[in-house]
Amino acid sequence: MSAVRDRVSQVAAHMNATGRAGLLEKRPDDIVVTTALRTAITKGGKGGFKDTPGADLLHGAFTSLLQRSGINPSLVEDIAVGCVLAPGGGATEFRAAALAAGFPDSTAVKSLNRQCSSGLQACVDIANAIRSGMIEIGIGAGVESMSTQYGPAAVTEFSELLENNKAAAECKVPMGVLSEQMAKDRHVSRQDQDKFAAESYRKAGVAQKQGLFKEEIAPLKVKWTDPKTDEEKEITVEVDDGVREVTEQSLGKIKAAFSKDGSIHAGNASQISDGAAAVLLMKRSTAERLGQNILGKYVAASVVGVPPLLMGIGPWKAIPVALGKAGITKDDVDIFEINEAFASQCLWCANELGLPMEKINPKGGAIAFGHPLGCTGARQVSTLLYELKRTNKRVGVTSMCVGTGMGMAAVWVAE
């Protein structure tokens, strides 16, 4: 009978369509996203969340996720939270936030930090844990309160040993400075950067007006102190307040931030922001058993290293690796969500990979509405999946460059 079994598995293997067709197939062991949401993203130090601690933002994302998904919190076995700036990684307050949000003590929580890709890493960690059978249901999340935690304290002083090692010392070159140098070396002109940035603002503005962020944003009630009157009031934050009207010309007038003859400035780099995002992941078989609504699935992810001084090229290296793992080519992808850390690096990666501009960040990106470091990777998931669904497209990629010279990318399919 073993010949029979062999023949059956051979024919079954023939049905493992590769490429896009294979990707679009639905299998019971797919890792699916049943809920993906985020808080609004607000301006650091000024915006709606300026007085809200990171753990409270996360608490808001958790409670909204439980509400929207209707999942029994005791079924969630693990939560991974990406965060960059919180002392101690935020491990203690994130566990506390989960308990406060209604998760029982049986739900484990960890925090992790892979710089700007922390939110994506959290989702990937949970997906991998589900795939390996370690857990059945989990949440990948990300949070950052740059208003309360951004500053020099986030990085430990380098030891003499590190300072004396050239490659090691390069890890602490500020990102603006190294990106400025990279823009110069790779010939990304100020004009092109400003054009790209203005386009990000325009796309985000249009999307906001059309209400395209409504599905992904969970409104959050927070306390907020009016800087003029010092009066504390309760407000509901449901809009990304960094989005504003700009043009290429108006951006052209802003002074370069990192060097006199530089090209990078506040208008063509990502904003300092606050926000949180959460993604509920499980196997398709589990989702169907629980009657969860499936938004899309996670397919594959990649992480790569690049020279620390060229950290901006991370997506250029990471995206083809992720596509290769998913067995597709760039032409099979409908939307790329590439984090706009700087217009210069995002633009360079897109051009170098030969990606058509209309496929990149169709609702704008971090230049327009901000880059709360640890949150971004998880934020991109909801932005991507809802946009794919709305436009009746299927395959998307999220990617970002990572400080100290890394890149991450992941392939997702909307349903």
Partner 1 sequence: MLEFRTAGFNPYSVKYSPFFDSRLAVSAGANFGLVGNGRLFILNLTANGIVCEKFFETQDCLFDLTWSEQHENQLLTAGGDGSIKLFDIGVGEFPVAGWQEHNREVFSVHWNLVNKGTFLSSSWDGTVKIWSPERKESITTLPVHSCVYSAQFSPHHPDVVTCVSRDSHLRVFDLRTKPSAQNHLTLAIPIHAPPKVAVPGYGNVSAGPTECLTHDWNKYRDSVLATAGVDGVVRTFDLRVPSGPVNMLTGHEYAVRKISWSPHLSDVLLSASYDMTCRVWTDGSNVDQGGNGAGLGREMGRMDRHTEFAMGVDWCLFGAEGWCSSCAWDERVLVWDVREYMRPA
Q: What does the binding site for partner 1 look like in residue numbers (CB under 8 A)?
A: 3-4, 7-8, 10-11, 13-19, 21, 320, 323-324, 327-331
Point out the catalytic residue in the list 116, 123, 349, 375.
116
**116 included as an active-site residue:** yes
Shortest Cβ distance from residue 30 to partner 1 (Å)? 18
400 in Cβ contact with 116 (< 8 Å): yes
Point out the catalytic residue in the list 83, 123, 265, 371.
371
Shortest Cβ distance from residue 338 to partner 1 (Å)? 18
How many CA atoms, within 13 angstroms, populate the side-chain half-sphere of residue 90? 32
Contacts of 79 (CB under 8 A, 6+ apart): 94, 98, 103, 107, 108, 109, 110, 126, 138, 139, 141
In this structure, what DSSP letter does residue 210 have?
T
End-to-end distance of the chain based on CA atoms, in angstroms? 39
The tokens for 288 are 């169907």
Shortest Cβ distance from residue 355 to partner 1 (Å)? 11
User: What does the radius of gyration of the chain's CA atoms come to, in whole angstroms?
Assistant: 21
230 in Cβ contact with 385 (< 8 Å): no
29 CA to centre of own chain: 24
What 3-state DSSP class applies to 343? helix
If the CB atoms of residues 13 and 161 are measured against partner 1, the closer one turns out to be 13
If the CB atoms of residues 112 and 353 are measured against partner 1, the closer one turns out to be 353
Shortest Cβ distance from residue 24 to partner 1 (Å)? 9
**346 included as an active-site residue:** no
Shortest Cβ distance from residue 249 to partner 1 (Å)? 36
Rounded CA separation 316/407 (Å): 8
If the CB atoms of residues 68 and 330 are measured against partner 1, the closer one turns out to be 330
Shortest Cβ distance from residue 329 to partner 1 (Å)? 4
Over 50-94, what HEC string results?
CCCCHHHHHHHHHHHHHHHHCCCHHHCCEEEEECCCCHHHHHHHH
If the CB atoms of residues 87 and 324 are measured against partner 1, the closer one turns out to be 324
CA distances from 19 to 329, 337, 395 (A): 8, 20, 11
Contacts of 243 (CB under 8 A, 6+ apart): 201, 204, 205, 208, 364, 368, 369
If the CB atoms of residues 4 and 161 are measured against partner 1, the closer one turns out to be 4
If the CB atoms of residues 106 and 329 are measured against partner 1, the closer one turns out to be 329
Over 157-198, what HEC string results?
CCCHHHHCCHHHHHHHCCHHHHHHHHHHHCCCCHHHHHHHHH
Shortest Cβ distance from residue 398 to partner 1 (Å)? 19
**187 included as an active-site residue:** no
If the CB atoms of residues 17 and 155 are measured against partner 1, the closer one turns out to be 17
Strands (E) located in 218-263: 220-225, 232-237
Residues known to be catalytic: 116, 371, 401
